[in-house]
Amino acid sequence: MSIFSLITGRPGLSGFGSASTAEQVTEGIDASNLTAIVTGGASGIGLETVRVLALRKAHVIIAARNMEAANAAKQLILKDNETARVDVLKLDLSSMKSVRAFVDDFNALDVPLNILINNAGVMFCPFQLSKDGIEMQFATNHIGHFLLTNLLLEKMKNTARSTGIEGRIVNLSSIAHNYTYEHGIRFDQISDESGYSDKRAYGQSKLANILHANELSRRFQEEGINITVNSVHPGLIMTPLMRYSELLMRVLRVFTFYLWKNVPQGASTTCYVALHPNLKGVTGKYHLDCNELEPSAFARDTVLAKKLWDFSNKLVSSAAKP
């Protein structure tokens, strides 16, 4: 998409553009036979994603760290949509123990799983380690979602086989994946404070989201699994994700106001990739404004994607089990 398209909202090949809202891109879609998990669904574009999926009659599980906020979000949705099917489960993506507990809680619901939207994240936070000893942005934005996805794969595969309905996994990345460390991923220094940059660490984690999606997509294609995996950049939106850099973002917005979206516009690409029939069979792609876009060279590197997959597996395996 060109800067002109971003500013004007001019639609791309999909028929949608930067000005399209989540409701507009899913208009007329009946998702009543679908179950979805949305991480970070208690606020921002995650909440709007849950609301619109529920509006299209999907059964949606809000996976959130803050249960008070998640339950408030559920009540907000039910206030306007009394028939909405929304459940709330606790999930702290920075803790592998919490991820495993969430999957146990979800499996106890005994429901299918058609859609997994890996939406939650942290941004530009000061250096800190997760409970598992991993740099917080990498732990939350990538490793937590990597483990969550792997633990839910059998459920998604079984659902796709038994229903004949294509499963979909959506990783929320960012245009910030272009601004990462020199070699893309600091494999040998993932959790080192030395040389840490909050901006580059965020870019690294968002690059990891794309590489994860691409490698998982490749594996599904090799196995003939009826599940697609794509990544999206939602656009520039002022949300709680920016709590560590709110002042900087507000100043930046003054000079780039024409590039920013509101929350309904920010959730549009996620909802489009998760629900729209035009995306049937489309996998391993990166999307902006509901249209495919070529990501960075690092993000297209299949060797790097495989290396990250193996590295992530080792991190998960070496972490203390509950």
| Residues marked as catalytic | 196
Question: Contacts by 4-12 with C-beta closer than 8 Å and gap 24+?
Answer: 5/289, 6/258, 6/259, 6/289, 7/258, 7/259, 12/289, 12/290, 12/291
> Who's near 313: CB < 8 A, 6+ residues apart?
none
Contact between 46 and 53 under an 8 Å Cβ cutoff? The reply is no
Other C-beta atoms closer than 10 Å to the C-beta of 149 total 19
* Alpha-helix residue ranges (DSSP H) falling in the chain: 3-8, 22-25, 44-55, 67-80, 96-108, 136-138, 144-163, 198-223, 246-255, 263-266, 268-275, 302-318
Mode of pairing for the β-strands spanning 286-288 and 291-292: antiparallel
Other C-beta atoms closer than 10 Å to the C-beta of 62 total 28
What is the rounded CA–CA span in Å between residue 160 and residue 172? 22
Q: How far is CA 204 from CA 51, 64, 162, 201, in A?
A: 30, 23, 37, 5
Q: How far is CA 8 from CA 2, 97, 196, in A?
A: 10, 45, 37
At 278, is the secondary structure helix, strand, or coil?
Answer: helix
Contact between 245 and 190 under an 8 Å Cβ cutoff? The reply is no
What is the rounded CA–CA span in Å between residue 104 and residue 102? 5
What is the rounded CA–CA span in Å between residue 240 and residue 245? 10
